[in-house]
Amino acid sequence: MIGKTDKITSPFSIAEARSLVKDLFPPNLAIYWTDFLGTYFLGIFCFQRVRGGPLWVPHQGWTGQWSQVTWFLASCLLFYRAAMFIHELVHQRNDHMSQFRHAWNLLCGIPFLMPLFVYYPHIDHHRRSHYGTHHDGEYLPLAHFRVFFLVFYLSWSFIIPILAVFRFLILTPVAWVFPAVRTWVHARCSTMVMDPSYIRPLPSPRVLQEIRWQEACCFAWCWGVAVVPPLVLGHSSLPFVIHAYLTGVVIVLLNSIRTLGAHRWSNQGGEMTYVEQLLDSVNYPHHVWLSEF
């Protein structure tokens, strides 16, 4: 993508641009499985080093050792990388990715309370007629907002993990009972977005079926975390909940900071051409190690 806002002086061909990178699009499942599982289980290892053991032992809490902070930050970075596979899976909706899709959802999406369905509307972010408009929930004209709003936007990181628990622990069973609530929950509380005014279109029957089993698993996970430790394992789940909340805050904050640097955020609602969308998007080809980190 283009890193300057200067006007293009020569014709730009979208077809030619696609042809230059077409060999990068076919997914290599061996790389997907190795990358995801290696990242995920290394994240689990670091997470357990923080808590002092696996989930069935009591959480050790804060021990006063700074190595615990190092393990915590490492687990957050690894879990963030594992979570971001959701982007690839939304773009790779073909059948040969189905096993990987289910594995990611069960190991990562559901325990992290970000099941795959919450990111389905991401495709609208890439439609020419939707990008940067009110149909695009992942866009706000941040370039025209005051700095205070950017700080306010980053502060959402402390609320989103709580809202995710509320969505799946409380709103999910209520939505199952009351159809009107079901419609509202889907439209307003079922999408990973930047724009809080975004209204998600109603799903097709097939997508609704996918949504129901995914949110049922999230509901069961939330109740399992709340009930199993005190009733089955004999210890409180509160230390784990605090640890998970802090992990969620860091992951959401990392993603929010990354998002601020992904676009120029200059569009104020009108449709944009493909070239204008390219100009509004940013790559960082220099400082390779910092960019990769």
Instruction: Give a yes or no: residue 6 inside a domain.
Output: no
Q: What is the pLDDT of residue 285?
A: 82
Range in 24-28, 128-132, 174-178, 204-208 the model is least confident about: 24-28
Instruction: Give a yes or no: residue 13 inside a domain.
Output: no
pLDDT digits (tens, 9 = 90+) for 267-292: 988 899 888 888 899 888 887 787 77
pLDDT digits (tens, 9 = 90+) for 153-196: 999 999 999 999 999 999 999 999 999 999 999 999 999 999 98
Question: Distance (Å, rounded) from C-alpha 60 to C-alpha 66?
Answer: 14
Residue 20: other Cβ atoms inside 10 A = 10
What is the number of structural domains in the chain? Answer: 1
pLDDT digits (tens, 9 = 90+) for 206-260: 999 999 999 999 999 999 999 999 999 888 999 999 999 999 999 999 999 999 9
Alpha helices of the chain — where are they, by DSSP H?
14-21, 29-51, 66-83, 85-91, 98-104, 147-155, 160-166, 172-177, 179-188, 205-228, 238-260, 274-280, 288-292
Cα Rg, the chain, nearest whole Å: 21
Q: What is the pLDDT of residue 288?
A: 79
| pLDDT at position 8 over 80 | no
The pTM score is 0.90
Highest mean pLDDT among 11-20, 143-152, 214-223: 214-223
Instruction: Give a yes or no: residue 14 inside a domain.
Output: no
Share of the chain above pLDDT 70, in %: 96
| pLDDT at position 25 over 90 | no
Per-residue pLDDT band at 24 (split at 50, 70, 90): confident
Instruction: Give a yes or no: residue 215 inside a domain.
Output: yes
| pLDDT at position 264 over 70 | yes
Q: What is the pLDDT of residue 4?
A: 45
Instruction: Give a yes or no: residue 12 inside a domain.
Output: no
Q: Which is higher by pLDDT, 110 or 22?
A: 110
Q: What is the pLDDT of residue 10?
A: 55
Instruction: Give a yes or no: residue 11 inside a domain.
Output: no
Instruction: Give a yes or no: residue 167 inside a domain.
Output: yes
DSSP string, 92-159: --SGGGHHHHHHHIIIIITTTT--GGGGGGGGGGG-TTTTTSTT-TT---GGGS-HHHHHHHHHGGGT
Instruction: Give a yes or no: residue 287 inside a domain.
Output: yes
Q: What is the pLDDT of residue 59?
A: 92
Long-range contacts of 93-102 (CB under 8 A, 24+ apart): 96/29, 97/27, 97/29, 97/32, 100/29, 100/32, 100/33, 100/36
The whole domain housing 31 covers: 22-292
Question: Distance (Å, rounded) from C-alpha 51 to C-alpha 72?
Answer: 9
